[in-house]
Structure 1
Amino acid sequence: MDLTLLYRGPLSSCDYDCPYCPFAKRRDSTAQLRADRAALERFTGWAAGQREDRLSVLFTPWGEGLVRSWYRRAMVELSHHEHVARVAIQTNLSCRTEWLADADLDTLALWCTFHPGQTPYERFLGKTRELAERGVRFSVGVVGFPEHLEQARTLRRALPSEVYLWVNAAEGRTYTDEEAAAWTAVDPLFPYSRHPHRSAGLPCRTGSSVVSVDGEGTVRRCHFVRAELGNLYDGSWRAALAPRACPLTVCDCHIGYVHLETLPLYDVFAGGVLERIPAAPVHAVRTPIPGPP
């Protein structure tokens, strides 16, 4: 079967100090980093060795993974396996890019976030140019705070037209129609992020063809539903895979609601769901989007 794995190990440290992030400038101890490395290597070994499924893997660490050698190594290793359709990671792009020369770029992709105030604009833009020159699949995005709008506009103008620039609604922020229109001019798909999506009782691919895995190998349907389906390493999770409705009232994170079957996002991002790259250039949202729940 085609199976998507969202992996989040114990890493919870970052080299940036974003004021809206609980992991800003947080430092893991040496012991914590060793534990994260061991957990990731165990997961990578399982993913590389299994042959029952065609895998797509998205690393979603609480922090920045690519400044750690074991995440770069895992990305490169998994990219070379024929049964791995995609391996991607969410990153602030603060790492060097030379390591990408060892990866299979038909498989590897990056979901890159620009954090104004944490890195110089020109430095970040330079990194995206390095990715483009290397032929890396990537998307770029920002969090939709008012103070980020002008730099987001500048970045959109500077990026090649084929590079998608996404905008995440800031958590807990309510956007006026005027504010939403300004962000939609940057990212035509921003209306999907503007409001949380009602999800209670609605069909979702998580728990069936998409699962979340933590550093212990505990499998859940997604990062946001705590009920356990089993453990990756003893195989107990497989019997629990089944179509199921969402038990939560709303879903407000892209890595969650992108899998809702009531939204057309698998068509919008066909071939690029994990790295958040649309299948075709986006100009406007044509499908009606539900308002606030």
Structure 2
Amino acid sequence: MDLTVLYRGPLASCDYDCPYCPFAKRRDSGEQLRSDRAALERFTAWAAAQTGDRLSVLFTPWGEGLVRSWYRKALVELSRLEHIGRVAIQTNLSGRTGWLAEADRDKAALWCTYHPGQTPYERFLGRCRELTDLGVRYSVGIVGLDDHLEEARRLRAALPPEVYLWVNAAEGHTYTDEQADLWTALDPLFPYSRHPHRSAGLPCRTGESVVSVDGDGTVRRCHFVRAELGNLYDGSYRSALGPRGCPLAVCDCHIGYVHLETLPLYDVFAGGVLERIPARPVGEPARPVREPTPGGLTSPDPARRRLPLAGP
């Protein structure tokens, strides 16, 4: 079985104070950190034992994982396993990078986000250059707020041309066409992030070849659908895997809608879906994004099939 796992344990602490994040400057207690470490080590041991499957793993912690030694260790260990196709993590890149020299850099990858005002620009750019020198696959992104635009332009000019700079639409923010054009000039794929995508009843790879797992091993189809499919550690989730329509009206987060079969993003990001790296330098999107409806939602391609909503 080929399976992609998005793992999110109990870690919630972060060293940044971003005003758009509910976990800014949150501190976990010693007990909470020990629980997170134990949960991650349990998950890593499970993944290492699944030699009959082909696994890819994306760590999506609420907090910053790479300042914790157990996340660095997990990435290194998993990257060295033959049955692991890719292991990646979302990070603010605030920590050191030299430990990646021990990883298999054909498999380990980073999804990095630059947060202006939280770290000096030169420090963040220096971390990116370290990754380039190490030969690590990585993408870099920024939240599309007005006061981030000049910093994003500066970063795009400084990064190697082969490093993809992505832009996430700010939550709750509406962009005029003129504003959207400014961000699209930096990230030609920004139109996919600009509007939520209608998803109700539409086919999605989550729950079939992609699952979300929490620190207790509870398996769900994705981070945004709370219905449970079973547990990772007793294997009960396996019989629940299969095609099913999305039960939500819309999907507005990249780690969700990238898996929608109604979008061409598996082709756009072929070989780099987890770390958000396109298969080729981005120009115009591989297939035009459909115009949003008057309500501001992107409509699916009417030629695409719908699936029944039965089941989680």
Same fold (TM over 0.5): yes
How does the TM-score come out when normalised to structure 2? Answer: 0.93
The residue that corresponds to 2:226 in the other structure is 226
- Give percent identity, aligned residues only: 80
The residue that corresponds to 2:84 in the other structure is 84
The residue that corresponds to 1:5 in the other structure is 5
Residue 286 of structure 1 and its aligned partner are, at CA, apart by 4.7
Query: 1:58 aligns to what SS in structure 2?
Result: strand
The residue that corresponds to 2:276 in the other structure is 276
Residue 50 of structure 1 and its aligned partner are, at CA, apart by 1.2
Residue 52 of structure 1 and its aligned partner are, at CA, apart by 2.7
Query: 2:6 aligns to what SS in structure 1?
Result: strand
The residue that corresponds to 1:58 in the other structure is 58
Letter in 1 for 2:16: Y
Residues 17-26 or 47-56, more deviating: 47-56
Alignment partner of 1:125 is 2:122: no
The residue that corresponds to 1:95 in the other structure is 95
The residue that corresponds to 1:195 in the other structure is 195
Residue 280 of structure 1 and its aligned partner are, at CA, apart by 0.3
How does the TM-score come out when normalised to structure 1? Answer: 0.99
Contact 2:264–2:286 (8 Å) recurs in 1 = no
Unmatched tracts of structure 1, length 5 or more:
none
Q: How many pairs were matched up?
A: 293
Residue 289 of structure 1 and its aligned partner are, at CA, apart by 1.3
Query: Partners in 1 of 2:53 and 2:182 — Cα distance?
Result: 42
Alignment partner of 1:170 is 2:164: no
- Cα distance per residue 1:144-190 (max 9 Å; x no partner): 00000000001001001000000000001000000000000000000
Letter in 1 for 2:278: P
Residue 288 of structure 1 and its aligned partner are, at CA, apart by 2.3
Query: 1:203 aligns to what SS in structure 2?
Result: coil
CA RMSD of aligned residues (A): 0.6
- Cα distance per residue 1:99-156 (max 9 Å; x no partner): 1111000110000000000000010000000000000000000000000000000100
Residue 285 of structure 1 and its aligned partner are, at CA, apart by 2.2
Alignment partner of 1:213 is 2:213: yes
- Cα distance per residue 1:226-256 (max 9 Å; x no partner): 0000000000000000011100000000000
Contact 2:156–2:165 (8 Å) recurs in 1 = yes
Alignment of 1:174-189 (within 5 A): 174-189=174-189
Query: Partners in 1 of 2:287 and 2:70 — Cα distance?
Result: 41
Structure 1 segments of 4+ aligned residues over 4 angstroms from their partners: none
Query: Partners in 2 of 1:61 and 1:134 — Cα distance?
Result: 24
Query: Partners in 2 of 1:182 and 1:287 — Cα distance?
Result: 20
Query: Partners in 1 of 2:133 and 2:287 — Cα distance?
Result: 34
